Amino acid sequence: MLLAIPTVTIVLLVVTAILLAITIALYFLGKKAQKRQDEQAEQMAAVSQNVSMLIIDKKYLRLKESGLPEQMIDQVPWYSRRAKLPIVKAKVGPQIMTLIADGAIFEDLPVKKEVKAKVSGIYITSVSGLHGKIKKEEEGKKKGFRSWLLRKQKEYSGK
C-alpha cells in the first residue's frame, strides 16, 4: 500500500533542504572571509605608521568624486565603484592628501583639528587627539540604524 504524501509537503521539504544547504554554504564562506580579513588587518597593522595631520574636510563620496589616484580607482572591482566611501582631506606635512578612513572611526574624526593618526598607505586605521582628547558625539542625539551597526562593530572588534 502506497502512502499518499501531499504535494505541499514535498515542496516544503525541498525548500527546507535548499535553505539548509544555502545556510551551510554561507557559514563556511563567512568563516573563510573572516580569516582573510584577519590576515589583512595584521598586514595593515604591520605597515602602519603614526602621522600628525590637520583634518580639513570629511565626507562620504563615490570613488570617482573622491579625488583618489586613478590607479587606485582602476583596481577597485566594477561592482564596488558606486559605493560611497568615508573620504578625508587632510594636510600631512606640507601637502594636502586625500585619504580613506575606517568606517568605525569616521564619525570620531574632528574637522579642522590636528590629530595623530595611524595610516597604512592611504587608509586611516585609528586616530587620537594631539592636544587633549577627541570629543565624542553627543549621547542625547538621536541615532539611526547605521550608527547602531557601527557601534556594535566597534564593540565586537574590540573583543
Predicted TM-score (pTM) above 0.75: no
Query: What's the CA angle centered on 53, arms 47 and 56, to 5 degrees?
Result: 125
- C-alpha to C-alpha distances, 116 to 11, 39, 75, 109, 124, nearest whole angstrom: 60, 25, 29, 11, 10
Query: What are 115's three cell numbers?
Result: 590629530
Please give the pLDDT value at position 107. 87
Sign of the dihedral defined by the CA atoms of residues 148, 149, 154, 155, in that order: positive
The C-alpha atoms of residue 8 and residue 122 are separated, in whole angstroms, by 56
Q: Which residues of the chain have pLDDT under 70?
A: 1-4, 130-142, 158-159
Q: In whole angstroms, what is the distance from residue 61 CA to residue 118 CA? A: 22
Burial (0-12, 13-18, 19+ Cβ within 10 Å), 141: exposed
* Residues 26 and 102 sit within 8 Å (Cβ to Cβ): no
pLDDT value of residue 87:
95
pLDDT of residue 84: 92
pLDDT of 133: 64
Measure CA 17 to chain center. Answer: 33
